[in-house]
Structure 1
């Protein structure tokens, strides 16, 4: 994962996440509001969880990713497990696109003035690598079941 990102991009992600982390609960709540508003077709996938549980899961996943961008030996297997689990939930590649665009919009909103093209490129590259790993793992899980 870290191989797809430059050291500067990793640093930008770490710093920007540290800046928005105090608003983490509000950020993930806003993310889901925006996701369900912009992509209502994904809402049924969350029928078996409460909003509070799902928000906690997303925030924990974001923390896991950011804390382990420099530790591919930790992040890789975690993303593989996450991808396999999302396969069980019925996630398909287009859902990852919806989540990615929504996440970027939400991060931009909460980052405020520090959000610029360089930071957007860093988060876009990170999400692209993350989603690819998860989608690939989901495909493997689907073929094994």
Structure 2
């Protein structure tokens, strides 16, 4: 089963909505991650020395935008090619260096979906969830492949 034009459109429109309040949603995203996996704090340079997720941190915002943007790019690639190919060859090495393992991918996926649900509010649907899940899973497979 391929990634449909409708799924890509859902991801794109909610990505645009996410970017409208990037600082707020970035903090929310990392708050969700740390609620689920407090030990992950040490994996992010912008969280290491803080007791809470810092507001207005440019590094935090940039990293969150990169994560969500890569999932959005994965949706585009899935639609066009049926597979996700990493544009950044260093991603595997960085994830290895940080000690990322399979459960971490699940935590990030859950946080990403919870964040998008907040972004879209009453426009949240199973179809939107599946679109983001599928795109994220494609990206995760590509990153894990680069890690090996």
Q: Which moved more, 1:17-26 or 1:80-89?
A: 80-89
Contact 1:83 1:137 in 2 (8 A): yes
Contact 2:29 2:64 in 1 (8 A): no
CA distance in 2, matches of 1:95, 1:82: 15
The counterpart of 1:60, out of the listed 52, 57, 66, is: 66
Aligned to 1:101: 110
Q: What is the root-mean-square deviation in Å for CA atoms of aligned residues?
A: 2.3
Contact 1:27 1:106 in 2 (8 A): yes
Q: Which has the higher helix share?
A: 1
Contact 2:74 2:136 in 1 (8 A): no
Pair 1:115-2:124 in alignment: yes
Contact 1:96 1:131 in 2 (8 A): yes
Q: TM-score, normalised by structure 2?
A: 0.78
CA distance in 2, matches of 1:66, 1:12: 10
CA distance in 1, matches of 2:2, 2:90: 20
CA deviation profile, 1:62-114 (whole Å, cap 9, x unmatched) = 234425643578x6232553233211111111101111011101110121011
Pair 1:81-2:113 in alignment: no
Q: TM-score, normalised by structure 1?
A: 0.80
Number of positions where the alignment pairs a residue of Structure 1 with one of Structure 2: 135
Contact 1:83 1:134 in 2 (8 A): yes
Unaligned runs of 5+ in 2: 48-53
CA distance 1:108–1:19, shift in 2 (3 Å): same
